[in-house]
Structure 1
């Protein structure tokens, strides 16, 4: 049976409405997880959602830019995006695919649309790296499909990272134990997921609306689960058909210092990242 036993589900701590931002060369984005939530949702740093049928909202793309000190996970629902970076990687991210990039010591990369019309929709998550890995070698991989399983309640679970209902995701991270699921819930269904009490957890609803222990969460809202030492997981109920991203991870409990595309543990490390970028040393082969 595809079940995750949860007897003491977490309650809802709060709901957060994303804010519209412009990134890259002018791409419209809904930033669901902002910098103010980084400590609370450690090890997660940022979550951006992008969705538009208007090419003017995405055609400018994300020309070459730097990163250091974290990982980015891009999950595409619809559309095509071409990735190129200074480590020599290149790939096309398409419908249902996922790209995992560990920027670590530094990389220059670009993400450009490979379409001139139609819908582009997806998500980019920033996941922190522990201090011991921030200056390791960059890594990158494209995945054309994501492992999935259907629960006894009829919920389709796409396992991007971690494990759920007997299915392993594409990536396992020892330090953060990151869980990243895309849940497609039929009307009237319920989903449960066992999560260690010490891990931070939240959802982002991108279709329909759901209920968390009696509290409604609407589309395009982020909802944070309360941390309770007595809890053993989460429960999501879906009165109507909905789609939800679920995240959970073990906090690194290290200082977080962010300056634009650089996320380190101290201001001195940020200053070094900026200096390396200006000197053309960031991501150099």
Structure 2
């Protein structure tokens, strides 16, 4: 009886917390399917839509170049994540398995970079990109984001969990470092790599400060910049339901990504050892 009572209390508290967390998303979707006149006529907010409509979604794509912002974000996210994976995987492999002079000192210096405030890095990157005349270009958007000390550290620790005897045996058999990396280390560390990939995609999709700083041309705006531009030009303030429709469209890809790969994310985060 005590266990049942405890479980009831736990699930009740979890249900209340879930409602609190999910309510903003429900309100966002609810507002997006209300008509402009219906929304403005509500002196007391209603928790259901009596006459749902998709007109706001049409307005969100026609009143502003939201599709262009969406395409730019996809390009930015895919290219940045792909380049980052190459840099992170090769760097983690070098620090985990290769022997070279000053490796430990260099890795310690890498880790020390995590102590530098992000604002200082943004200032340095802004000056560098500006001096290279790369403002308002995809290269200027992408290059400062193609590496991450934290992801290198995370994957290095995962690589080091793989027994070194396997690496030595592969070298005796004449296996090259690249072949060993792609045939052994990457498959074993797949959960962690998938987790890093998803986290980077979310980071790129939600990126705001750097794209806002380095671009003032609408042709290179990302969805985060686009939403801010919509709000500032008066459209979002006047037509809140259409603004919410735009936010829903932008949020859906990340929600789907998490739902599809949630098991991989949890496996990659919780993975503490190597089998076999």
TM-score bracket for this pair, using the shorter chain length: under 0.3
Instruction: State the structure with more CA Rg.
Output: 2
Higher helix share: 2
